[in-house]
Structure formats: C-alpha cells, structure tokens
Amino acid sequence: MSALLELDDVRARYGPVQALHGVSLTVDEGEIVAVLGANGAGKTTTLRAISNSVRREGGIRFAGKPVGRGGPDDVARLGIAHVPEGRGTFAELSVWENLRLGAYTRRGPIKDDLERVSAYFPWIEERRSQQAGTLSGGEQQMLALARAFMQRPRLLLLDEPSLGLAPRLVTEIFRIIKDLNDTEGLTVLVVEQNAHIALQLAQTAYVLEVGRVALSGPSAELQAHDSVRRSYLGY
C-alpha cells in the first residue's frame, strides 16, 4: 500500500481564530481512515483544508503530487469527492439532477454508474424526480453518498455521516461505506463524532484536540487506549 493522501503540518485559520495548528496525517490507498475529536477540534476544517474550501498553509500531496491552492473545483477534478457538513445536497433540484451533478467532472455515459448506485440505494430509481430537499435526513445522507459515488472518486471525504440520523440508519450508512470500500476499493477519510462506530469501520484513526493530532494509530489500538475510551467511547 502506498500513501494516497498526505498532510504535512497543515494549518488553517478563520479570521483571527487558528483552527488547525499543524495537522499531519496519511491515508493509504484502499484504506478507511477516521478522524475523531470533540466539537471544535478541527475535524471539519481538516477536510475543508484538503478540498481547498478554506485557505491553508502547509503541504498536501494527493497521489504523489502536491495539491495546488486553486478552488474546491480543482480538487474535485483531481478525484477527491467531499461530502461536506450539511451533506451538500442541492435541495432545490431533483434527486436525478443531484446525481448528474455528482458526475459533473466526468465525460462519457453515466448509465452504468446509475445502475450501480441503484444497486446500493434501490429507492433512488423510483424517486429520481423528487425534489432532493423533501427527502428525509437519512435519505439525503444516502443521496450524498450516491452523488459522491457518481464522481468515481479515488478518495472520499465524509463529514459526520451520522449527524442527526437514527441509530439504525447510522448502521446502514456505515455498512454501505464499508461495502464500497470492500468491493470498489474506495479510499475513505471520514470525520466522526460517533467514535464507537467510526473505530469499528476504520483501519486507522486520528484523534484531534484543539487543531492538533493528539493520538493516532490502528483503530484496534485506539479502541483499547485508556484516554480514548474515557473521552470518546465513554466507558
């Protein structure tokens, strides 16, 4: 396995507030990596720094090449799909149009992808003309995954996929992510508050505290780690 994504001492700020104080992490090809941490630890900002949605300092390399300082659209074109906080749903557009936007950077037919998406989310086909904003929260999260999938990314950035969802739906969403990773070899970097489920899913995890990496290692090790257990798993 080789490193698909490398962050080297990445810093970011919102006006006077420093959100990232130098984050370094590595995501290997075909791996699921989880980023854990409390509110305000810099999890979301880490993803935003990768997709150039926030101005950052420090080096980011994707597939061996440095990621430029262009816009999020340039990063998307490199093959990185970012499902942001709030899921990035085009609420006013139809389900079908959301999926087509997912495939925006690609050329050629997208019919095969639609079929594969329908295999994961059977309800999408029959509700393709429904306005996306009228879907339930769980459906919107699935649509966001489907939209990212249409992009055929090499790396998927997921921001709190469990947020606001019922536990059963969270399990379902994570099962699908795991499935995509197993069968399609999709590399995933997922930010999560729900440490319990994230550590089950990921092979590697990073714990952020106030904009720095406090801990990192294989998920199994972190699960056994005392402070992680106390602070994030609650037992």
Task: Tell me: does residue 56 bind other proteins (CB under 8 A).
Answer: no
20-to-50, 80, 183, 208 alpha-carbon distances in Å: 12, 21, 34, 10
Task: Tell me: does residue 63 bind other proteins (CB under 8 A).
Answer: no
Work out how close the CB of 74 gets to other proteins at its nearest, in angstroms, rounded to a whole number: 8
Task: Tell me: does residue 68 bind other proteins (CB under 8 A).
Answer: no
Question: Residue 168: CB partners within 8 Å, gap ≥ 6?
Answer: none
Residues 149-188 that bind other proteins (CB under 8 A): 151, 164
Strands (E), the chain: 3-14, 17-28, 32-37, 56-62, 65-66, 80-83, 155-159, 187-192, 204-209, 212-218
Work out how close the CB of 184 gets to other proteins at its nearest, in angstroms, rounded to a whole number: 19
Looking at residue 102, what DSSP letter applies?
Answer: H
In angstroms, the CA 235 to CA 62 distance is: 37
Residues 177 and 202 sit within 8 Å (Cβ to Cβ): no
CB atoms within 10 A of CB 136: 11
52-to-56, 63, 81, 114, 174 alpha-carbon distances in Å: 8, 16, 12, 28, 26
Task: Tell me: does residue 126 bind other proteins (CB under 8 A).
Answer: no
Residues 46 and 216 sit within 8 Å (Cβ to Cβ): no
Task: Tell me: does residue 102 bind other proteins (CB under 8 A).
Answer: yes
Task: Tell me: does residue 134 bind other proteins (CB under 8 A).
Answer: yes
Which one of residues 59, 66, 86, 167 is an interface residue with other proteins (CB under 8 A)? 86
Q: Taking the CA atoms of the chain, what radius of gyration do you get in angstroms?
A: 17
In angstroms, the CA 128 to CA 216 distance is: 41
Which one of residues 16, 39, 92, 108 is an interface residue with other proteins (CB under 8 A)? 92
Task: Tell me: does residue 84 bind other proteins (CB under 8 A).
Answer: yes
Query: Residues binding other proteins: what is the number (CB under 8 A)?
Result: 34
Which one of residues 131, 171, 193, 200 is an interface residue with other proteins (CB under 8 A)? 131
Work out how close the CB of 71 gets to other proteins at its nearest, in angstroms, rounded to a whole number: 6
Give the nearer residue to other proteins in terms of CB position, either 104 or 218: 104
Work out how close the CB of 225 gets to other proteins at its nearest, in angstroms, rounded to a whole number: 33
**Near other proteins by CB under 8 A, which window of 14-22, 83-91, 177-185, 202-210?**
83-91
Work out how close the CB of 232 gets to other proteins at its nearest, in angstroms, rounded to a whole number: 26
- Residues in touch with other proteins (CB under 8 A): 51, 53, 71-73, 76-77, 81-82, 84, 86, 88-93, 97, 100-102, 104-105, 130-131, 133-137, 140, 147, 151, 164
